[in-house]
């Protein structure tokens, strides 16, 4: 019971590193070990060795070679509560998108429990990929296990705190998913246990370094920005105003260009319609 309470509190305080300290009470000392500290801009150690759900030895960098952004989750497969909520919330968000893992982006789930192996990873993969219900998703969502050294190196870089409770035989940890650029740089943290499709899409467009998404997606990213206090993307009035101003300038410029072109055509037409005047002087 004690550990379950700690897990719940970790979820509530998971993003407190960016929150306003005047509005959010300080994290209890016993939960300091399981807080999430954002390391935006840091690069993941892509050479870390892991094992995939089929038992094949891989490195983290194997999932960045396609040049697509990566959605990273840190969970463990026998978690009795919070990990299931995080992964279920992610599945719900992915189902509502028209993008598919393995096509526009990759999803990598890494177990923080060094005791777990490929069999558990494969079972977890089957259930969650099936829940997405999109052909090809099995090629884009990867479930990894690894040794303590690799897990600790990855979680330290991400800033993901977790603690093993030997009495309850489970981990206490926070709830978040992480967006990573195609070259392995952390670009966004999304917190909680529900991940709206809009937030996932905008975060992936952001992580894609301008190479993912349509023109509309890029306009939306300009008009929405991530607000840590609400843990989601919200309408950004100043961004929308700047975009509106830019569109207005472009529209006015286009209109003036059309008017000027029309005026030049009219001037040429009038000049052609007037007969030439003979200015020659007749000499006696």
- For residue 161, what is the domain's CATH number? 3.40.30.10
Does residue 80 sit within a domain?
yes
Does residue 281 sit within a domain?
no
> 155: domain range?
2-211
Mean pLDDT across 261-277:
67
Mean pLDDT across 28-53:
87
Q: Residue 245: which residues within 8 A CB-CB, separation 6 or more?
A: none
Q: How far apart are CA 74 and CA 59, in angstroms?
A: 16
Does residue 274 sit within a domain?
no
Q: Count the Cβ atoms, other than its own, within 10 Å of residue 85.
A: 16
Instruction: Check residues 239 and 103 and name the one with the higher pLDDT.
Output: 103
Q: Provide, rounded to the nearest whole percent, the portion of the chain with pLDDT above 90.
A: 55
Answer yes or no: is pLDDT of 237 > 50: no
Does residue 67 sit within a domain?
yes
Highest mean pLDDT among 17-26, 93-102, 246-255: 93-102
Does residue 114 sit within a domain?
yes
Answer yes or no: is pLDDT of 149 > 70: yes
Beta bridge partners of residue 165, listed in sequence order: 170
Q: How far apart are the first and last CA of the chain?
A: 123
Instruction: Check residues 172 and 234 and name the one with the higher pLDDT.
Output: 172
The total number of structural domains in the chain stands at 1
- Using 50, 70 and 90 to split pLDDT, how confident is the model at 278? low
Mean pLDDT across 210-236:
55
Structure token digits, residue 193: 């246990």
pTM: 0.72
pLDDT tens string 7-17: 454 444 444 44
Q: How far apart are CA 60 and CA 74, in angstroms?
A: 13
Does residue 225 sit within a domain?
no
Q: How far apart are CA 222 and CA 269, in angstroms?
A: 45
Does residue 103 sit within a domain?
yes
- Using 50, 70 and 90 to split pLDDT, how confident is the model at 250? very low
Does residue 246 sit within a domain?
no
Q: What angle do CA 272, 273, 276 make, to 5 degrees?
A: 75
Closest CA to 179 of 162, 164, 201: 201
């Amino acid at each position: 019971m004690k550990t379950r309470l700690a897990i719940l509190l970790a979820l509530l305080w998971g993003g407190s590193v960016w929150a306003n300290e005047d509005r959010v009470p300080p994290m209890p000392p016993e939960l300091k070990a399981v807080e999430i500290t954002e390391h935006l801009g840091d690069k993941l150690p892509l050479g870390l060795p892991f094992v995939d759900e089929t038992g094949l030895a891989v490195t983290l960098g194997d999932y960045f070679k396609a040049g697509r952004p990566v959605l990273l989750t840190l969970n463990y497969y026998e978690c009795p509560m919070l990990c299931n909520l995080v992964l279920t919330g992610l599945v719900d968000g992915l189902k509502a998108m028209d993008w598919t893992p393995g096509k526009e982006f990759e999803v990598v789930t890494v177990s923080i429990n060094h005791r777990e192996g490929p069999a558990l990873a494969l079972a977890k993969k089957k259930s969650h990929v099936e829940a997405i219900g999109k052909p090809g998703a099995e090629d884009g969502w990867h479930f990894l296990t690894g040794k303590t050294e690799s897990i600790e190196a990855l979680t330290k870089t991400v800033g993901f705190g977790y603690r093993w409770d030997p009495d309850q035989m489970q981990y206490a940890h926070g709830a978040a998913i992480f967006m990573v650029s195609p070259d392995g740089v952390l670009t966004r943290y999304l917190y909680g246990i529900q991940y709206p499709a809009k937030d996932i899409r905008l975060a992936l467009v952001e992580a894609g370094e301008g190479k993912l998404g349509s023109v509309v997606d890029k306009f939306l990213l300009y008009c929405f920005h991530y607000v840590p206090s609400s843990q989601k993307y919200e309408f950004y009035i100043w961004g929308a105003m700047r975009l509106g101003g830019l569109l207005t300038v472009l529209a006015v410029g286009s209109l003036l260009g059309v008017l000027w072109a029309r005026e030049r055509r009219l001037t040429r037409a009038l000049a052609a319609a007037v007969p030439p005047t003979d200015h020659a002087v007749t000499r006696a």
